[in-house]
Amino acid sequence: MPIVAHNDLPAFERLRAEGQNILPSDRALQQDIRELHIGLLNMMPDAALAATERQFFRLVGQSNQIAQFYAHPFTLDALPRSAEAQEHIERWYEPFEQVREQGLDALIITGANVGGSDLSGEPFWGPLKEVVDWACEHVTSTLCSCLATHAVMQFRYGQRRRPLGFKRWGVYPHRVVDVTHPLVGGVNTLFDVPHSRFNEIGRDQFEAAGARVLVESDTASVHLAVSEDGLRLVMFQGHPEYDTVSLLKEYKREVNRFAAGQRRDYPPFPDNIFSRKSGAILEEYRTLLCRELDRGRPPLALPEARIAACLDNTWRDTAESVIGNWMGLIYRVTHKDRRQPFMDGIDPADPLRLLA
């Protein structure tokens, strides 16, 4: 069943325009179908705030046909925001206190942009820990994306992420290495995942924390791992929620930073996303851009539309399958009243025992 548009969040209308099945709240109330309430802790910077909403809501909305999904976005007050972003948050987002009071069936925590490898000095550190500690006691499952995974591994398991010394960005092949877990049941055993990060958590660190590694890459390391109980924490290190053009837009931002003098080196291509033809177009653009800059002229616009038309998405179907499995597990394990911890007789420390 679809995501329920229980308010006027612009993301709902954008998804409806894409052809997504977004159900008005009055129609949802007429249907005798179980609700699942999904929180989205959005820590992304202002420019990516709305796009991140759509990316995760799109995945959730396509994932499962047996429930109505109510999405509850919220963020952390400790994150600095522009006036425009703050207005968006105050109008469409819910305070964490309200989310905590009403309860959730599942929670998604996005990544965030930070500079250093040690996250404990970041302004969001304490508030994020508060949210995660609450979720681990009161929410059936929390899905952490990229930096959120790194933060959870540090403050819950004492495993600090390691600097790579370069930016890992691009699309990389991954393999399912634990086919027994229901999260990866029925998905392709070999599939692509986008990554974009300067740091990583290694397999040895996940294993030291007692986590089960489900999906990894020879090049990009672990993508998907779960906490020891199998469901409480689902940890992504990649970005399966990314749109087809997400890495292109990130590349464009870095080129614009170079043109503005904000970075010294010209950015390299993200790995494995541009065709030979697109690479030639972008190399020609680089030559023209540098010539214009040397002459003191305004920078030329990157030919984004030409490149976007040649991009392929090689990860969306598997991402939808994994999220669909996740939603299915949550549906089967949670109490119909999300404010109750679990169904009678189910040990919260071992939620997958219900499925054995």
> Domains in the chain, start-ordered, CATH in brackets?
3-242+313-355 (3.40.50.880), 246-308 (no CATH)
**CA quadruple 119, 53, 144, 127: dihedral sign:** positive
Q: Residue 282: which of 261, 251, 243 has the closest Cα?
A: 251
Tens of pLDDT, residues 157-195: 999 999 999 999 999 999 999 999 999 999 999 999 999
Q: Please, are residues 124 and 155 in contact by the beta-carbon 8 Å criterion? A: no
Token pair belonging to 178: 């634990």
Set 144, 239, 254, 320: catalytic member: 239
**Cα 8 to Cα 96: distance, rounded to the nearest angstrom:** 19
Secondary structure (3-state) at 291: helix
In this structure, the number of other CB atoms found within 10 A of the CB of residue 274 comes to 20
Question: Is residue 290 flagged as an active site residue?
Answer: no
Residues ≥6 apart with Cβ < 8 Å to 174: 190, 191, 192, 193, 215, 216, 217, 220, 223, 238
Confidence of residue 106 (pLDDT cuts 50, 70, 90): very high
Query: Sorting pLDDT into bands at 50, 70 and 90, what band is 354?
Result: very low
199 contacts 164 by C-beta, under 8 angstroms: yes
Of these residues, 200, 241, 254, 320, which one is catalytic? 241
One-letter amino acid of 109: I
Nearest-5° angle of CA 2, CA 107, CA 232? Answer: 120
Contact predicate 156/132, CB 8 Å: yes
Name the residue with higher pLDDT: 23 or 219. 219
Cα distances (Å, whole numbers) of residue 348 to 36, 101, 214, 323? 18, 20, 22, 21
pLDDT of residue 172: 98
- Lowest model confidence (mean pLDDT) among 74-88, 100-114, 264-278, 328-342: 328-342
Let me know if 239 is a catalytic residue: yes
Specify the DSSP element, H or E, that contains 69.
strand 68-74
In the predicted model, is pLDDT for residue 223 greater than 80?
A: yes
Q: How far apart are the first and last CA of the chain?
A: 26
Residue 136 catalytic?
Answer: no
What lies within 8 Å, CB to CB, of 156 at 6+ separation is 132, 136, 209
Of the candidates 37, 53, 144, 146, the residue annotated as catalytic is 146
Can you read off the two tokens belonging to residue 29?
A: 């109330």
